[in-house]
Amino acid sequence: MTTEKLCFRQDVIVEPLYDQWYAWSYLISPATAAMNIANSHLKKMQSFVSAPQMHVAALKNPAMLGGPFIDHDPRRVDEIKVLVERTIREHAHMLEFAAAVQELDHLLATEAAGLSLEPLYQKVPEVLRGYVELLYDLNNQPSMRFIEGLLYKSEYYNTAAQSIELAIANGNSRSFVFSTPRLHNEGHLRLKMPFSYEGFDELFKMKYVPQPYDYIKDLLHIRDEDDEVFRSFFTEEVPPPHVGYAGDDVRIRYFGHACVLIESKETSMLCDPVISYKQDIGRDYFTYTDLPDNIDYALITHNHQDHCMFETLLQLRHKIKHVIVPKNNGGSLADPSLKFVLQTSVSKTSLRSTSWKR
C-alpha cells in the first residue's frame, strides 16, 4: 500500500468506446446504435476480413482517409474475425431490431396510402411494438417515431458495451475513429465500466489535483497485472493552479474547431467542447489546464460528433454545472434526442434542451 499522491497526465488520450468502437451520440441512442452495428460496423469488419489489403491500399491515398476503411495491419484480421463473431453473438437482439426497422420502413412505403395508419399497427414487427408510433410527416409521407424514453429502459440500451480506453498520446495522429474498431494494443488500458460511473470523475479530477495512487487504482478496479500500464498514466508533476478571469469585460478564447470559452467575472460558458491534449508539438495552444475550475454552462449547438464529443465531455463532467442542448425532431431515426443521450451516459448536472434559429 502506497500513499504517494499523483496527477493524471495531461497527455493521456481518453477514448470512450461502445463495443470497441469510438462512442458518439448515435451509438448511445438505442435505435441508432442498432442501425450502426448492423449497417456500418459489421459491414466494415466483414469487408476487412474478406479483403484486408484493399483497406490498406485505400488508406495510402490521402483522399480516402476518413472513408469506410479499417486502419489495421492485415495480420490482425483474426482479431477482427473474433470481433465480428462476438458482435453477431452478443448483439443479436440489436441486429434483429435493425432488421425490424427496415421491415417496417418497407411496410410503410408500400402499404400506407394516405389513409389512417391504425390498421398497420397489427403488422408492426414484434420487437418494435410499444416502441414506435406511426405517423405522416409534413410532406404527407408515412414514417415512424421512436418512443425513446422506453427504449432507454429496454434491453436495447446496454451500458455493458461501454468502456474507456487510456493511452499516452503520440502526436496528433490517430486511426480515423469512426471506421476503425479499437483492438488491444501494448501500452493501452481499457476500463470496462459505464460512462456514467462516478469513478471516472475522480480520475479526471486528478488532472488538476493529486490523489493517492492506490485510491484511484482501487476505485477503478485495476488488476495487479495492469498496474504497470495504469501507473504510466500518472505523474508527480502538478499543473499550476488556474487563474480565473477577473476583468470587467468579456474574454473569449478559441480552443479549436467550434470550441470557444466565453468568460466574464461572474460566468463561464464553453461552446461545443473539443479540447486538445497537452503535447510538445512546437506551438502553443489552449488545453484542459486553461479551463476554469468550474464551467457554468456547456452549450452544444447541434448533434454532430465534432460538436458533441464524449471524449471531452466525460473529462469535463465534474466541472460543468449546466448543459444546454437543442431540441430534437421528436423521435425520428435521423435525429435522436441529445438530451436523452447525455442524461443517460454523460451528464450528471442540470441538462436543458431549448430551441433556437440557426
Total-model pTM: 0.92
- pLDDT bin (cut points 50, 70, 90) of residue 284 is confident
The C-alpha cell of 120 is what? 398497420
- Enumerate the domain spans of the chain: 251-354
Is 236's pLDDT higher than 70?
Answer: yes
User: How many residues comprise the chain?
Assistant: 358
Is 358's pLDDT higher than 70?
Answer: no
Write out pLDDT tens, residues 100-133. 999 999 999 999 999 999 999 999 999 999 999 9
**pLDDT at res. 172:** 67
CB atoms within 10 A of CB 336: 24
- Least confident span in 46-60, 296-310, 313-327, 337-351: 337-351
Q: Is 224 left (phi over 0), alpha (psi -120 to 50) or beta?
A: alpha
b/e 98-135 (16+ beta carbons within 10 angstroms → b): bebbeebeebbeeebeeeebeebeeebbebbeebbebe
- pLDDT bin (cut points 50, 70, 90) of residue 348 is low
CATH number for 251-354 (one of 3.60.15.10, 3.30.420.10, 2.60.40.10, 3.40.50.11540): it is: 3.60.15.10
Identify whether the C-beta of residue 38 lies closer than 8 Å to the C-beta of residue 98: yes
Question: What is the spatial distance between Cα 355 and Cα 358, in angstroms, rounded to a whole number?
Answer: 9
Element (H, E) at 81: helix 77-90
The C-alpha cell of 110 is what? 408500400
- The amino acid at residue 50 is S
Q: What is the dihedral of CA 187, 285, 311, 189, to 10 degrees?
A: 10
**Which phi and psi angles does 350 have, rounded to 5°?**
-65, 130
Question: What is the spatial distance between Cα 22 and Cα 203, in angstroms, rounded to a whole number?
Answer: 20
With CA atoms as reference, report the closest residue to 166 among 102, 100, 229. 229
